[in-house]
């Protein structure tokens, strides 16, 4: 993302001009734009003209529109952001108040005006414009008969394809069926890697599985590559890395990202950092349950007494439509920062973020034990549960 202009006054009002450069930037834009903001961007509008005689002609016109956003749609697979809203600026082609849907496009600037900018949003812009953050990794988690081909970017984990093949078990006298099924499965996984992994961008390809599936697959793939004389695979052989995972399901990516060899290679990407932070939280919950809390109510209480050392918060909480709720979370983040605590904003598109979102979306590691929080929840734990459910439904 490129920041082309930023005019935010002291009252935190103003506008920002941005230019998305890659598909990941759409995700950032999705997190930035909230309902009620106004967005100005160039777009194509179908205009109908009626002549004096009554015949009408329609033509497509490229024009610049400003709309007040009402609904936001994000397609995670295609990374397309669609904003629908009413026109609020005069335009020769479009009436005031007419609905229009803006498709944000790559390499076309848009201007975003918010009635109030908060720190989270400004931080998001900073992060999006940081070029060092981008580290693309492809990962294939597989087990016999099941594979997920994923792309891991700084703030998203995208499952590009899921391969499910039923492989006959070995049985007396007919091992061939098992081996044939296996070869078919490997072939499919290989094809899917070739189709979805762009070796120009991707730094490394992790192949993770239990047992020997990864080794078998790796051998199979390069045997085939030699046979078919596939230059693309042979040239990038060094990018493949074999890692252990306990299963072929998506959430075993977490184990993959914790593997020391992977951590070393990927340096400190956001995805790996998030997995580590969540792991830390769980370890604390096991060892010192009075120093680890989750749920909005508990965390807010802990923040009141300035006890939070590290706050884990999922970014889907900031995308909620309720402005007041969003504000509450923003103040929570700010108060933790003011008290010298660390805040980790998890991307809900990562595996660890998904898990955190299920865990009410907010969790905290404390500086000192607060057992009173745990005891207090018996009398009014209905509230806590309700708060958790709210965040789930977002």
Partner 1 sequence: MSRHRIVRTMDYNDEYDGYDDVYGHSVDDDHCISPTDAQQWLYDRERGRQSISAFISKNKDIKEEGEHDEDDEDEAYEKARRDSESFQMPELDEMEQAKLSSCVDEVRSVVGDAVSERRIVETSMKFDYDIQKILDEILNEETKKSDKPALRPKVPVPIAATIVKSASKPTPPAKISLKEPRRGFEIASPKLPSSPVVSGRNTPVDVGGDNDLSRTAASVFKVSKDQAQRNAQQLYEKERSDQKSHIHMIVIGHVDAGKSTLMGHLLYDTGNVSQRVMHKHEQESKKLGKQSFMYAWVLDETGEERARGITMDVGQSRIETKTKIVTLLDAPGHKDFIPNMISGATQADVALLVVDSTRGEFESGFELGGQTREHAILVRSLGVNQLGVVINKLDTVGWSQERFTEIVTKLKSFLKQAGFKESDVSFTPCSGLTGENLTKKAQEAALTSWYSGRPLLDVIENFKIPERALDRPLRMSVSDIYKGTGSGFCISGRVETGVMCVNDKVLVGASREQAQVKSLTMDEFPQTSVFAGDQISVTLAGVDINNITVGCIISDPQTPIPVTTRFQARIIVFSVKVPITMGFPVLLHHQSLIEPAVVCKLTASIHKSTGEVVKKKPRCLGSNSCALVELETSRPICIERYADFKELGRVMLRVAGVTIAAGMVTKIR
Q: Does 346 bind partner 1 (CB under 8 A)?
A: no
Q: Given candidates 73, 99, 198, 212, which one binds partner 1 under the rule CB under 8 A?
A: 212
Q: Which of helix, strand or coil describes residue 30?
A: helix
Angle between helices 270-287 and 351-358 (to 10 degrees): 40
Q: Does 367 bind partner 1 (CB under 8 A)?
A: no
Q: Given candidates 86, 251, 276, 367, which one binds partner 1 under the rule CB under 8 A?
A: 251
Q: Does 376 bind partner 1 (CB under 8 A)?
A: no
Q: Given candidates 360, 364, 366, 370, which one binds partner 1 under the rule CB under 8 A?
A: 360
Rounded Cα gap, residues 182 and 166, in angstroms: 9
Q: Given candidates 3, 44, 98, 175, which one binds partner 1 under the rule CB under 8 A?
A: 175
Q: How far is the CB of 249 from partner 1 (least distance, A)?
A: 5
Give the footprint of partner 1 on residues 129-158 (CB under 8 A).
Answer: 143, 145
Cβ neighbours of residue 95 under 8 Å, at least 6 residues apart? 87
Judged by CB under 8 A, the stretch of 34-42, 61-69, 84-92, 245-253 that binds partner 1 is: 245-253
Tokens 């709309």: give the residue: 67
Q: How far is the CB of 213 from partner 1 (least distance, A)?
A: 9
Q: Which of helix, strand or coil describes residue 71?
A: strand
Q: Given candidates 14, 36, 210, 369, which one binds partner 1 under the rule CB under 8 A?
A: 210
Q: Does 365 bind partner 1 (CB under 8 A)?
A: no
Q: Does 279 bind partner 1 (CB under 8 A)?
A: yes
Q: In terms of residues, how long is the chain?
A: 394
- Sheet of 38-50: strand order equals 2-8, 14-19, 110-114, 38-50, 56-75, 80-87, 99-103
Q: How far is the CB of 225 from partner 1 (least distance, A)?
A: 21
DSSP structure class, residue 171? -
Rank residues 88 and 285 by Cβ distance to partner 1 and give the closer one.
Answer: 285
Residue 374: its H or E element: helix 371-376
Rank residues 23 and 258 by Cβ distance to partner 1 and give the closer one.
Answer: 258
Q: How far is the CB of 242 from partner 1 (least distance, A)?
A: 14
Rank residues 177 and 191 by Cβ distance to partner 1 and give the closer one.
Answer: 177
Q: Given candidates 76, 216, 236, 331, which one binds partner 1 under the rule CB under 8 A?
A: 216
Size of the site for partner 1 (CB under 8 A): 48
307 token code pair: 């006890």
Nearest partner of 194 among 159, 231, 165, judged by Cα: 231
Q: Does 289 bind partner 1 (CB under 8 A)?
A: yes
Give pairs for 327-333: CB < 8 Å, separation 24+. 327/118, 329/362, 330/118, 330/119, 330/120, 332/299, 332/300, 332/303, 332/362, 333/119, 333/120
Residue 362: its H or E element: strand 362-366
What residues make contact with partner 1 under the rule CB under 8 A? 143, 145, 164, 166, 168-172, 174-175, 177-179, 210-212, 216, 246-247, 249-252, 254-255, 279, 282-283, 285-286, 289, 293-295, 354-360, 374, 377-378, 381, 385, 388
């Amino acid at each position: 993302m490129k920041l082309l202009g930023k005019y935010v006054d002291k009252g935190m009002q103003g506008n920002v001009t941005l230019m998305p450069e890659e598909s990941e930037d759409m995700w950032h834009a999705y997190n930035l734009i909230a309902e009620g903001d106004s967005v100005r961007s160039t777009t194509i509008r179908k205009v109908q003209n009626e002549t004096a005689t009554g015949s009408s002609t329609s033509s497509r016109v490229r024009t610049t529109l400003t709309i007040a956003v009402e609904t936001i749609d994000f397609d995670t697979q295609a990374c397309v952001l669609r904003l629908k809203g009413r026109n609020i600026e005069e335009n020769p082609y479009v009436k005031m108040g007419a609905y229009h849907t803006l498709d944000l496009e790559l390499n076309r600037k848009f201007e975003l005006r918010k009635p109030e900018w908060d720190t989270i949003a400004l931080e998001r812009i900073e992060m999006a414009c940081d070029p060092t953050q981008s580290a693309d990794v492809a990962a294939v988690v597989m087990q016999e008969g099941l594979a997920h081909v994923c792309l891991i970017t700084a703030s998203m984990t995208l499952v590009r394809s899921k391969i499910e093949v039923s492989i006959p078990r070995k049985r007396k006298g007919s091992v061939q069926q098992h081996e044939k099924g296996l070869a078919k499965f490997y072939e499919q996984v290989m094809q899917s890697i070739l189709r979805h992994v762009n070796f120009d961008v991707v730094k490394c390809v992790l192949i993770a599985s239990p047992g020997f599936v990864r080794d078998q697959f790796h051998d199979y793939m390069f045997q085939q590559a030699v046979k078919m004389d596939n230059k693309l695979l042979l040239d990038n052989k060094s990018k493949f890395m074999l890692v252990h995972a306990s299963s072929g399901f998506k959430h075993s990516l977490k184990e993959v990202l914790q593997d020391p060899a992977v951590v070393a290679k990927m340096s400190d990407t956001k995805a790996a950092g998030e997995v580590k932070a969540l792991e830390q939280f769980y370890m604390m919950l096991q060892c010192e349950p009075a120093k680890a809390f989750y749920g909005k109510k508990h965390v807010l209480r802990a923040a009141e007494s300035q006890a939070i050392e590290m706050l884990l918060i999922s970014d889907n909480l900031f995308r909620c439509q309720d402005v007041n709720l969003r504000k509450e979370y923003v103040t929570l983040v700010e108060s933790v920062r003011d008290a010298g605590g660390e805040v980790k904003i998890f991307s809900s598109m990562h595996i660890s973020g998904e898990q955190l979102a299920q865990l009410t979306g907010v969790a905290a590691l404390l500086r000192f034990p607060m057992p009173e929080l745990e005891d207090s929840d018996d009398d009014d734990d209905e509230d806590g549960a309700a708060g958790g459910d709210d965040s789930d439904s977002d």
